[in-house]
Amino acid sequence: MVRYLTIRLLQMFVLFLVFLTILFFLINAQPGDISAQFVGNPDIPPEAKQILRERLGLDQPLFAQYLFYIRNVLTLNLGVSFDHYPRTVADILLTALPRTLYLFGIATLLSYIVGFQTGKMVAWRRGSAAETGTMVTSIILYTVFYPWFAILMLWFFGSQLNWFPLGKFLTPAQWFDAPYTANQVFNTMLLSMFLAGAGVALVVWGTGKFVAEPVPRTRARRILFALIAISMLAFWLISPMSRYAADIAYHTVLPVTTLTLVFYAAITLLTRSSMLETLREDYIFTARAKGVPEKVIRDRHAARNAMLPVTTSFVLAIAFIIGGGIVTESIFSWPGLGLTLLNAVNVEDLPVAMGALAFIGLLALFAHLVADVLYAFLDPRIRVQG
């Protein structure tokens, strides 16, 4: 597995370089003086322009510029924003990145977990009214034009029912005398969620490895999961940040739900067909012949294998999810990478736009890597030999 992952990592790096090359040529194929695009802002004093020009390698010949560009991206030296001068592009993007990760992460996780369960149940009860209902809902959600759907969600839950705020990331009035910046609170939220997730993964792996008997293993897992949940809860109850965190969380409900619903539909459809394929396999028959109870066949034998194609499909879904994320950020005014990109494009802030694109590419590669690791973990044919 280590070898497999090393190779994948190297491949990813090469892919990222290729992606950057494409970006570079995209900028350069454009008519007009490229350096003007990067340092053309009249707000920048002439001396600063010269320094910037040199740092970005814009005074060099094309090929050297290319090398400069690659080096600059890898060292996060992405130039200065036109629109938000003198903020650097890297600063703007690093502020936006966690927000996108949050939206992207929660929507992906939720939709995969819930969608997988639904798809599993629906395939198991083939021909039932529940199946028909779920299928119709899923196909509608899956084929609905997403920006339109998001607008309708915003209108219905935000404006009509008035349950949720109309976009944005927080309620400015509440933050007037806040002792923290929004990003501090937000990053703490993200970190605590990440730690909880890592904890759960560690528990699953650890108990799987060190507790052989199934009954004490389940017990140990339950206790440790409860411990993680309690410590999370305790932290947020005690922390003075929680008031502000709650405000942010309240603002996230609608965009996250909207994004999740659409992926959820896709995952449900996918899991259902994957599960139906799996149920036809010989080993399902073996399990039945062994006298394995039906529920165990469904969960331990069929669903476990149906997971594999669903995981693979995640790689294909990344582009789809990123697209959905950008639309969501735009409609719910969620200040992440996508909105940054769109705003930059609208005000022709090229350095920010290109930087955001590079970041989004990196994000896609990272998601791809996660899917690869997960797949290697799930499929012994790769875990054991690769």
Partner 1 sequence: MTADRSMVAGKQEGEKPELDPGPILEVDHLIMNYRTKDGYVSAVQDVSFTIGRGESLGLVGESGCGKTSIAMSLMRLLPDNAEIQAGKIVLDGDNLLELSDEEMRRRRWNDIAMIFQGAMNSWNPVYRVGDQIREAIDLHWEEKPTVAVANARIAELFELVGLDPAMMDRYPHEFSGGMKQRAVIAMALSCDPKIIIADEPTTALDVIVQEQVLEELRSIQHEFGMSIIYISHDIAVIAEITDHLGVMYAGKLVEHGLTEDVFARPRHPYAWLLLSSTPSVTGPRLNLNPLEGEPPDLLHPPTGCRFHPRCPFATDQCAAEEPPMEEIEPGHLVACWNYEQVPEMKAESA
Partner 2 sequence: MTDVTEIPPVDPVLEPDVPVAKEGLWRTRIRLWNRSFTKNWEIFSRNRLGVAGVVFVAFFGFLAILHPILMATVWPEEIYDPVRGNDTVILEKTVVPDGEVTDPITEISFTEAMIFGNFFPEEGDVVLVGQAPAPPNSAHLLGTDPFGRDILSQLMKSSQAAFTLGVIAAVSAVTIATTIGSVAAFYGGWVDSWLMRQADLILLLPLLPLLIVIGSLYEVGLWQLGLLIGILSGLGATAIILKSQALSVKVKPFNDAARVAGGSNWHIITRHIMPNVLPLSFLYMMFEVVGAIFLEATLSFFGLLSIPMSWGIMINTAHTQGYTLFGLAAWWLLFPAGLSVTLFGAGFFLIGRAMDEVVNPRLRAR
- Residues within the interface to partner 2 (CB under 8 A): 15, 18-19, 22, 26-27, 30, 139-140, 142-149, 151-152, 154-156, 158-160, 166, 273, 277, 280, 315-316, 318-319, 322-323, 326-327, 330-331, 338, 341-342, 345-346, 348, 353-354, 356-357, 360-361, 363-365, 368
Residue 16's contacts (CB-CB under 8 Å, 6 or more residues apart) are 361, 362, 365
Structure tokens at 228: 């993680």
DSSP letter assigned to residue 174:
G
Cβ at position 126, least distance to partner 2 in Å: 8
Write the burial class of residue 220 (CB in 10 Å: 0-12 exposed, 13-18 middle, 19+ buried): middle
Residue whose CB is less far from partner 2, 1 or 166? 166
> Interface with partner 1 includes 380 (CB under 8 A)?
yes
Q: How distant is the alpha carbon of residue 218 from its chain centre?
A: 30
Cβ at position 292, least distance to partner 1 in Å: 7
With CB under 8 A as the contact rule, the residue among 162, 179, 210, 290 that binds partner 1 is: 290
Residue with tokens 């694109």: 357
Cβ at position 88, least distance to partner 1 in Å: 48
> Interface with partner 1 includes 135 (CB under 8 A)?
no
Structure tokens at 231: 């410590």
CB atoms within 10 A of CB 20: 21
Cβ at position 211, least distance to partner 1 in Å: 10
| Contact yes or no for 353/26 (Cβ under 8 A) | no
Buried b (16+ CB within 10 A) or exposed e, 44-74: beeeebeebeeebbbeeeeeebbebbbebbe
| Contact yes or no for 88/79 (Cβ under 8 A) | yes
Structure tokens at 36: 């003007």
CB atoms within 10 A of CB 151: 15
Q: CA-to-CA distance for 90 and 88, rounded, in angstroms?
A: 5
> Interface with partner 1 includes 299 (CB under 8 A)?
no
With CB under 8 A as the contact rule, the residue among 2, 213, 240, 295 that binds partner 1 is: 213
Cβ at position 311, least distance to partner 1 in Å: 12
What SS3 state is found at 80?
Answer: strand
Residue whose CB is less far from partner 1, 47 or 282? 282
Q: Give the range of 81-89, 133-141, 151-159, 291-299 binding partner 1 by CB under 8 A.
A: 291-299
Residue whose CB is less far from partner 1, 157 or 377? 377
The 327-366 contact track toward partner 1, x by CB under 8 A, reads ----------------------------------------
> Interface with partner 1 includes 276 (CB under 8 A)?
no
> Interface with partner 1 includes 283 (CB under 8 A)?
yes
Question: Where do contacts with partner 1 occur on this chain (CB under 8 A)?
Answer: 212-213, 281-283, 285-293, 301, 304-305, 308, 378-381, 384-385
